Amino acid sequence: MFTGKTVVITGAAQGIGRSIALMYASQHANIVLADMNPLGNQVADEIGKQAIFVQTDVRKPDQIIKLMEKAVEHSGKIDILINNAGKFAPVSPYEATVDEWDDIINTNLRSVFLCSREAAKYMKGNGGRIVSIASTRAFMSESNTEAYAATKGGIIALTHALARSLGSDGINVNCISPGWIETGDYNALSELDHAQHLARRVGKPKDIAQACLYLTHPLNDFITGQNVTIDGGMTKKMIYEE
């Protein structure tokens, strides 16, 4: 169902973004990988001729515009956008500078709006799907993560607002809130790590990639404006602390 579709994925050089790119590639989609990290070239090479890498700093509006132009040059259209780019940099609220705050906001949240807007210009009239990666940090926190939490909560609100604004153009907009998704050495996790989840395991990047496929499947056009939490039940498990 994704053969010939063009998918733009930000933050695609590694981790969840890389897994999403490989998942869509396995479904014969055309892949446009965007990332600041030049490792994106390796992912494009791994996928083959159906993929291109566009080195992109999503904090910079002109580079976002160029990204979408390159995507259309590559395959003539944009069908799906996955807003995955983001950064996590904990800092005490007593010490955080305005520049540090703005860096997180512009990377994680403003980029979602700008990428969605620019992609929607090409989707308009032809339908389209936008999925943004939020986080369970939107509704639960650790210390010193104010900027990150604000961006992830903002993505959820932005999702339903965009779904309302873009719906008349046939564009569906949803987001996913991952819980603990291990992008490092999965075998190094402990039994206690896995036991924190009702699913009895820590998540893997492919769990999020598979959800992206579901939300962007052509037959699932009745799902829009939604946040889908994928955390193995971690946020539903009551854990008592002393």
Please choose, from the candidates 46, 58, 54, the residue with its C-alpha nearest in 3D space to the C-alpha of residue 7. 54
Torsion of CA 107, 66, 226, 12, to 10 degrees: -70
- Per annotation, catalytic residue among 148, 186, 214, 240: 148
Q: Is 237 helix (H, G, I), strand (E, B) or coil?
A: coil
Is-catalytic flag, 148? Answer: yes
DSSP code for 218: T
DSSP code for 109: I
| Residues near 146 by beta carbon (within 8 Å), at least 6 away in sequence | 93, 96
Q: Is 203 helix (H, G, I), strand (E, B) or coil?
A: strand
Helical ranges in the chain per DSSP H? 15-26, 40-47, 61-75, 98-105, 111-123, 146-166, 191-195, 205-216
Number of residues in the chain = 242
Phi and psi, residue 13, nearest 5°: -75, -25
Number of H helices, E strands in the chain: 8, 7
Report residue 215 as tokens: 């939300």
Q: Say which residue the tokens 């104010």 belong to.
A: 146
- Gyration radius (Cα) of the chain, Å: 17
Q: Catalytic site residues?
A: 148
